[in-house]
Copies of this chain bind each other. A is one copy, B any other.
């Protein structure tokens, strides 16, 4: 059910805890561990072939970051994000993405612009193939991560990263309309356009509108049984591919 990415695939320079954390985080954000999945420390330790200590520390980090929840003596499980959560989440995210776009505009370099455009172009390619929601989410994450990088404000990054993570986690279960990815890409392009004009306020507003519209679109999405479907999918094995 979960091909052990085996850790070996990761930068061996880092600590085991760090690498374990990356593996688990990616698995969650790629929906390989859907919301509701239990994160048993001994089990993961066996599967990843490390001791329990690094796994425990990685799981705690996921908890602090809000990708997992914890109940006393009952362990952790991948967070289930419901509509109300998302509403509150996007209220915060709107401000922070706006700030990121504003700061990024002030510091935008030629290289950065090239990289941003490459992401947009990759994103277009992915949407052309269509149907692949995971690839869309991946590109969406790359775009927003790049914005944070350009903004170069360590506190903003540290603050926004977990927020963005939780948002993207929710996307797997809550996206609905098929044109949402296309709308998102259009809005990304608008943000970049605003940044190119060199007007920070404009970029901020474009980014805020983007998040605000995401929120509206997600709120309108059929709330198809708030993740209970996910939990079922997680408990019953995800074997049947096209369930």
- Seen from chain A, the residues whose Cβ lies within 8 Å of a Cβ on chain B are 15, 57, 60-61, 64-66, 72, 85, 88-89, 91-92, 95-96, 98-99, 103, 153-156, 158-159, 162-163, 166
- CB-defined contacts of A72 to chain B, threshold 8 Å: 15
Given contacts A60-B60, A60-B61, A158-B162, 15 further A-B contacts (CB under 8 A): A57-B57, A57-B60, A64-B64, A64-B65, A66-B155, A85-B155, A88-B154, A88-B156, A91-B103, A91-B153, A92-B155, A95-B95, A95-B96, A95-B98, A155-B166
> Are A159 and B156 touching (Cβ within 8 A)?
no
Q: Choose one: B61, B65, B155, B163; the contact of A89 (CB below 8 Å).
A: B155
Task: Report the minimum CB–CB distance from A51 to chain B (whole Å).
Answer: 13
- CB-defined contacts of A159 to chain B, threshold 8 Å: 92, 159, 162-163
Task: Report the minimum CB–CB distance from A17 to chain B (whole Å).
Answer: 9
- CB-defined contacts of A96 to chain B, threshold 8 Å: 92, 95
- CB-defined contacts of A15 to chain B, threshold 8 Å: 72
> Are B64 and A156 touching (Cβ within 8 A)?
no
Number of copies: 2
- CB-defined contacts of A66 to chain B, threshold 8 Å: 155, 158
- CB-defined contacts of A156 to chain B, threshold 8 Å: 88, 91-92
> Are B88 and A155 touching (Cβ within 8 A)?
yes
Residue of B nearest to A166 (CB): B155
Task: Report the minimum CB–CB distance from A67 to chain B (whole Å).
Answer: 12
Residue of B nearest to A158 (CB): B66
- CB-defined contacts of A57 to chain B, threshold 8 Å: 57, 60
Task: Report the minimum CB–CB distance from A101 to chain B (whole Å).
Answer: 13
CA distance A103 to B95 in the complex (A): 14
Task: Report the minimum CB–CB distance from A151 to chain B (whole Å).
Answer: 10
CA distance A158 to B153 in the complex (A): 19
Q: Choose one: B92, B98, B154; the contact of A153 (CB below 8 Å).
A: B92
Residue of B nearest to A95 (CB): B95
Q: Choose one: B60, B65, B99; the contact of A92 (CB below 8 Å).
A: B99
CA distance A162 to B158 in the complex (A): 10
- CB-defined contacts of A103 to chain B, threshold 8 Å: 91
- CB-defined contacts of A65 to chain B, threshold 8 Å: 64
CA distance A60 to B53 in the complex (A): 13
CA distance A103 to B91 in the complex (A): 10
